[in-house]
Amino acid sequence: MTSKKVVELFYDVVSPYSWIGFEVMCRYRHAWNIELKLRPSFLGGIMKGSGNKPPGVISNKFMYMTKDLSRLSEYFDVPLQSPSDPFEAMFQKGSLSAMRFVTAVQAREKDGDKKVERVSRELWRRIWMEDKDITEPASFSEAAMKAGLSDSEIKEVLELYNSKEIKDKLKSSTQNALDHGAFGLPLVVCHVNGKPEVFFGSDRFELMAHCIGEKSVVPK
């Protein structure tokens, strides 16, 4: 078997399209000959750094996004449901603290990325399935507990997530996405023959497969 191709996934748990892309890429990591690297990032910083505007602030885009997410949820079997107040959840409350928490989980994980994968998924479930908060320490604790972290691990991450080290790590990942040309999330960077191939969004899997020489059938 040839060596695995490195694929980076930049994401933010406030982004429903990131959840779709995250789940599909996590499935592909077992079906494709790839090494998937999770890159927690801050969508707000990417929007500001790129000069982009969220689709939710443009009425036609928001209407389309609502229907589009419903179709994607059914097609990819991701249990996505809109919060009761999407604007408040996404733009007023945001995800800076949540992504610092995810970054802290990743920073202390020593072997692979199973914990950061599970914690990220539980935070998505809170906001995009259960209509719950993802901004308070108690919310992080509950998500981490459901993800299988021990009480001592959760305590350690809560003590770490507002540190300068973690803030700088999240800034660095966000800047890395911007350096790849990001204007939103998710962003997938496939490293092929020594150069990055960049894909935005959660609807480019066929092109990714073509690019890295894999089959595009989406595993369930």
Catalytic residues: 15
Q: Of all residues in the chain, what percent are helix, strand and coil, respectively (each to 5)?
A: 55, 10, 30
Q: How far apart are CA 26 and CA 202, in angstroms?
A: 13
* DSSP 8-class letter at 218: P
Across the beta sheet with 34-40, what order do the strands follow?
34-40, 5-11, 187-192, 195-200
Q: How many helices (H) and strands (E) does the chain have?
A: 10, 4
Q: How far apart are CA 203 and CA 182, in angstroms?
A: 16
Q: How far apart are CA 133 and CA 215, in angstroms?
A: 38
Q: Is the dihedral of CA 101, 103, 105, 108 positive or negative?
A: negative
Coil vs helix vs strand at 120? helix
| Residue 133 · residue 101 · CB < 8 Å | no
